[in-house]
Amino acid sequence: MANVTITEVDNANTEVRAHQRSFITFERLVLFAAMHVALVLACLALAFLGHIPAIAVLLGVGGTVALIAAFAISGSQSTG
């Protein structure tokens, strides 16, 4: 059996927590990007296929602000 000190175990736990935190942050970034791409595609469909560009612009700007606000609020609540 290998001799493992408590300090090595604590360091490993710290590294695992840091890796988990960065993975969750990356996962949230990818989710935001996918949701924003879907929003932009929906707005483009409204503008070009639906012939209502004014509503598409309002939905695009409002949806982007809402996405940013939602991810900022949920991100600040999950850190700790």
Range of the domain at 66: 6-78
Query: Tell me, what's the pLDDT at 10?
Result: 78
Q: Is residue 1 part of a domain?
A: no
Q: Is residue 46 part of a domain?
A: yes
Q: Is residue 54 part of a domain?
A: yes
Answer whether residue 7 shows pLDDT above 70: yes
Q: Is residue 31 part of a domain?
A: yes
Nearest to 60 by CA among 49, 74, 45, 50: 45
Answer whether residue 79 shows pLDDT above 60: no
Domains contained in the chain, number: 1
Cβ neighbours of 43 (radius 10 Å): 21
CB 51 within 8 A of CB 16: no
Query: Tell me, what's the pLDDT at 75?
Result: 80
Mean pLDDT (whole number) for 33-47: 96
Mean pLDDT (whole number) for 58-71: 96
